[in-house]
Structure 1
Amino acid sequence: MTDFTDFDTLRAAVGTELGTSDWLIIDQERIDRFADATGDHQWIHVDPERAAQGPYGRTIAHGFLTLSLLAPIGQEVMTVSCARMAINYGLGKVRFINPVLVDSRIRGTVAITGVTDITGGVQVERTITITAEDATKPACVAESLVRYLE
């Protein structure tokens, strides 16, 4: 865990890979709960019998489920204790490169790719790469924008 205690240190971290989160299991229960929360019940995600006959041989996580894990991964790898609050400002480029198969273990690596001064704080661009254990390609690579306010 990297803790930034001032914005100057955060600015100096541009171009730095901060670390990798712990492993997280993506089981069918998590996938089903995400489907219920979003209303996306496509068979490739929630029907194990049908998915067994599909291209991956089992269900896969929603791309947006994988993307939703950026927040907890980012919070596990870095904190900005000098900020009074953090605001998710959105995303830049997002790519879903490889599916996350049910019961996979995934983790994310966080790199600081930019820091821009804004009124009352800084905007940080982080590139988060989510990989599944034993996969040859990442599952997701996303540019995450967070505003840290003084």
Structure 2
Amino acid sequence: MTILYFFEDIGIGDVIETTSLTITTDHIDRFADLTGDRFEIHMSEEGAAQHGFPKRVAHGLLILSLVDGLKNQADAQFAAVASLGWEWKFSAPVLPGDVIKARMTVTGKRETKRPDRGILTIQFDVMNQDTKTVQSGVNTLMVRRKA
């Protein structure tokens, strides 16, 4: 059962964690097909090795996109209206076989002029199977308020 958090239900400092996801070469190939980003570190072991990586590297934006999907599949979710933006940092490569998950911490909230909406600021920390932070950043999210 999914818990849906409206603006009033969530407080600064509240934390929600996502489930984990194993990154595969299929993820990388499908993202490359979709976006046209075929930079060599993503597409071949040889290309990755030429840049000092042990394996192909997942696109940074692929991981961000998957994390947004994990957010929307979590057991506890925000009553989202729309994402208003992302500020994001890629800290370490994500390789096929890595397992990622995200910890979301509410760091800010404010009301809007509209009584049915509010804005949350959410810190994301994306970790791999070794609990190393591989990506992090902030999402500004418009959420519904209770009637």
Offset, 1:3? 3.0
Aligned to 1:26: 23
Task: Report SS of the residue matched to 1:69.
Answer: helix
Establish whether residue 90 from structure 1 lines up as the match of residue 104 from structure 2: no
Q: Which runs of 5+ in 1 are unaligned?
A: none
Contact 2:67 2:101 in 1 (8 A): no
Q: Over aligned residues, Cα RMSD in angstroms? A: 1.9
2:92 aligned partner, one-letter code: N
Give the TM-score normalised by the residue count of structure 2.
Answer: 0.85
Distance in 2 of aligned mates of 1:48 and 1:77: 36
Aligned to 1:70: 67
Map 1:91-130; keep pairs closer than 5 Å.
Answer: 91=86, 93-118=87-112, 119=114, 120-130=116-126
Contact 2:15 2:104 in 1 (8 A): yes
Give the TM-score normalised by the residue count of structure 1.
Answer: 0.83
Distance in 2 of aligned mates of 1:54 and 1:77: 39
Change (3 A) 1:89 1:77: farther
Task: Report SS of the residue matched to 2:30.
Answer: helix
Establish whether residue 8 from structure 1 lines up as the match of residue 5 from structure 2: no
Q: Which of 122, 127, 131 is matched with 1:131 structurally?
A: 127
Distance in 2 of aligned mates of 1:57 and 1:28: 14
Contact 2:23 2:97 in 1 (8 A): yes
Offset, 1:55? 1.0
Identity of matched residues, %? 26
Show CA shifts across 1:23-72 (max 9, x none). 20111110011111111100100112332454121101111111112322
Task: Report SS of the residue matched to 2:133.
Answer: coil
Which 4+ stretches in 1 moved above 3 angstroms? none
Contact 1:94 1:140 in 2 (8 A): yes
Contact 1:94 1:143 in 2 (8 A): yes
Tell me the number of residue pairs that the alignment of Structure 1 and Structure 2 aligns. Answer: 141
Q: Which runs of 5+ in 2 are unaligned?
A: none
Show CA shifts across 1:71-96 (max 9, x none). 2222215324xx5x5211111x3111
Distance in 2 of aligned mates of 1:122 and 1:70: 22
Distance in 2 of aligned mates of 1:77 and 1:129: 17
